[in-house]
Amino acid sequence: MKKACICILILILFSIFSQAYVNSKNVSYGSYPEIEIMKPKEGYLYIFDNEIMPTGGSTIIIGGITVKVRADEKDVLICFYVDDFFKHSDSSPPYTWKWDEASLSSHDMEVMGYKDNACFYQKREVNYINTPSQVFNIPPQPLLVSPSNTNVLYNKDCTLVSKEFTVVRAIDLRNSDDIVSAEFEYSRDGENWIPITAFLPKNPEIVFNDGNNIKVDDDAWSAGWSLADLSEGEYYIKVIMEDKWGRIGTDTKKIYYDPTPPSPRILSPREENVDGKINITVTTKDRDVVMMKVLCSPLLPDYYKQSGLGREKDDHIGPAGNDGVNRYCTPTAAKNALHRLASNYDALLFPPDESEEAKNIAMAKELAVWMKTTPNEGTATIGASPVNFYESDDVSPGIHAYLYARGFRGAEKYFVTSYKTGYTAEGNELKPLTTSINWNIFEREIQKGSAVIVDIHKWDRKENTVGGGHTLTGEGIKHTSSNGKHTCSFIDPENGKEITTSWKTIDGFPSLEYPPHSGEWWIINGIWSIFPQYLANEEIGRDSNPSDGWKVTLNTSSLENGLYLVDVLLEDSQGNIGITSFHLLINNP
């Protein structure tokens, strides 16, 4: 009877999948580590992890399978993907992953062998059926994206929070529209939980009349969390997300709350121009600092420009809206910024695909999915926060989700830092209120090698209201300024070309002339940087004895004359780290 049922099932499967397309590819560029998918074999039927018989066409999997991969070289990292979404990695043979997820459809199963920033790629299309009764029972998959570490304040082992009020935010990795609620809790021990009750009110939706990004998000799955009455120490935060079918998903994150973090404040040198021996001295409000470290970047030219950025155009990524305007500038700009890191340092940033062109397009399209970009409204680069207050973002959650899909968890390799402009709502209009953005931030992020995304919005200065926006990829800066204007360059996703324009502060807000030489000044709404930890600068000194203050002596004559970017790092006994940066213009006789 059992054999008869299996035979009937096989006949049904052949009738269903007889037209299925099978695709298995090995693609390499240069001398990459060669890999091969050993299980499942192409064109075979597997039932409950057992190889049954060849199908003569499709690869069919029923009931889960252990995927096995062979690599010809040692010290290879094997990454497993399904439909471009990272699932598992294995750094030692035998390279395996147990694929046991609910499904009733065809999938692309991909593996990538990674070594020394080179990769070998193989793809196999499979028809995968696993416990069909559970297909409609996939719970939400929440990911806590805020708070998060930044490249100026972080903890080695968890997320550092220093503000008395922070926004806790989550997204659903399924990207589903069926989520009905998200409850947030915190705990001191990870067992006894207390509700975070300061939920952010749902502000009215605002849509601008013109521009590329015209929607303002209502930012539904967030909560405001006041930590003012909490003592310094470790905590846990949790999101409980429920969909309309009553299915529950959770995510938990460990944080360290430090209201007086080791943020360095430079005491000396006070001037940028220096020569001879100088003392780099700092102070901080943190009383348990254990180490000061000073890092210095190589000699910088007055005009510094990142090389190797992407040149993708937004009309390659998604269709234009009903009005003929293409609104995929934000994911395209993010892709162009990440391209340099993916091409030069970390191939795992690219989605698994068989060609350079396909990887570029796939990266931008996946970013568009995570940023919820649409043809008619673009990306919500401004979102609601507390009542009647709005600030830049739907970009960093999308970046966090993309990095998560690529297999990077937390800040283990990349810091995503947001610099924001805040607005107050009056009717259906937004008026600039506050900003954390300035020229020094943009200049230093470019010079440090971060992937930099800059979002600008039209600004009616007479009425002090903002309109629709556009997003660019940061490329270059000129250190010296003229008459309060700074020269900078970007890659514009509208045409994939470099533009050079001016930056200046107007009425206390950073502004960009766009298009260049047009006389139109757009407010800079947000800057998002993706900083790779592997691009750390050279250490030039450290101090572990605070008896005479925190000080490192630098003999500038050991360096060539010119401009340098200096990072000062303070670390406390809890592993909290604060960083600040400044310039030195060395001019020894």
Do 238 and 165 lie in one domain? The reply is: yes
> Who's near 408: CB < 8 A, 6+ residues apart?
348, 414
Do 288 and 339 lie in one domain? The reply is: no
Do 437 and 476 lie in one domain? The reply is: yes
- Model pLDDT, residue 48: 86
**Residue that wins the pLDDT comparison between 113 and 588:** 588
Assess contact for 52 and 46: CB atoms under 8 A.
yes
Q: Grade residue 188 by pLDDT with cuts at 50, 70 and 90.
A: very high
Do 46 and 162 lie in one domain? The reply is: no
- Structure tokens of 212? 């590329």
Do 555 and 529 lie in one domain? The reply is: no
Backbone φ and ψ for 445, nearest 5 degrees, come out as -65, -40
- Structure tokens of 198? 């300061």
DSSP H or E stretch at residue 343 = helix 329-344
For the chain, percent helix, then strand, then coil, each to nearest 5?
Answer: 15, 50, 35
Do 469 and 563 lie in one domain? The reply is: no
As a whole number of angstroms, the distance between CA 475 and CA 542 comes to 32
- Model pLDDT, residue 334: 97
Q: Grade residue 399 by pLDDT with cuts at 50, 70 and 90.
A: very high
Residue 425 is part of a domain; what is its CATH number?
3.90.70
* Averaged pLDDT, 394-423: 85
As a whole number of angstroms, the distance between CA 435 and CA 510 comes to 8
Q: What does the mean pLDDT of the chain come to?
A: 85
Do 466 and 521 lie in one domain? The reply is: yes
Do 209 and 312 lie in one domain? The reply is: no
For residue range 438-466, what is the model confidence (pLDDT) as tens digits? 999 999 999 999 999 999 999 998 888 89
**Residue 397 in 3-state DSSP?**
helix
Residue 39 is part of a domain; what is its CATH number?
2.60.40.10
Residue 364 lies in domain: 305-534
Do 249 and 387 lie in one domain? The reply is: no
- Model pLDDT, residue 17: 42
- Model pLDDT, residue 512: 97
As a whole number of angstroms, the distance between CA 399 and CA 253 comes to 18
- 249 closest CA partner among 390, 387, 138: 138
Share of the chain above pLDDT 70, in %: 88
Listed residues 113, 137, 161: the one ending a domain: 137
pLDDT at 359 exceeding the cut of 80:
yes
- Model pLDDT, residue 428: 76
Question: Cis omega before residue 515 (within 30°)?
Answer: yes
- Model pLDDT, residue 36: 87
- 56 closest CA partner among 99, 8, 10: 10
pLDDT at 210 exceeding the cut of 90:
no
Do 332 and 431 lie in one domain? The reply is: yes
Do 510 and 549 lie in one domain? The reply is: no
For residue range 361-396, what is the model confidence (pLDDT) as tens digits? 889 988 998 888 989 999 988 876 655 677 767 688
Do 154 and 286 lie in one domain? The reply is: no
Range among 36-45, 401-410, 501-510 rated most confident: 501-510
* Averaged pLDDT, 180-205: 81
Q: End-to-end distance of the chain based on CA atoms, in angstroms?
A: 94
Question: Cis omega before residue 40 (within 30°)?
Answer: yes
Number of domains into which the chain is organized: 4
Q: Grade residue 258 by pLDDT with cuts at 50, 70 and 90.
A: very high
The position carrying tokens 């064109």 is: 43
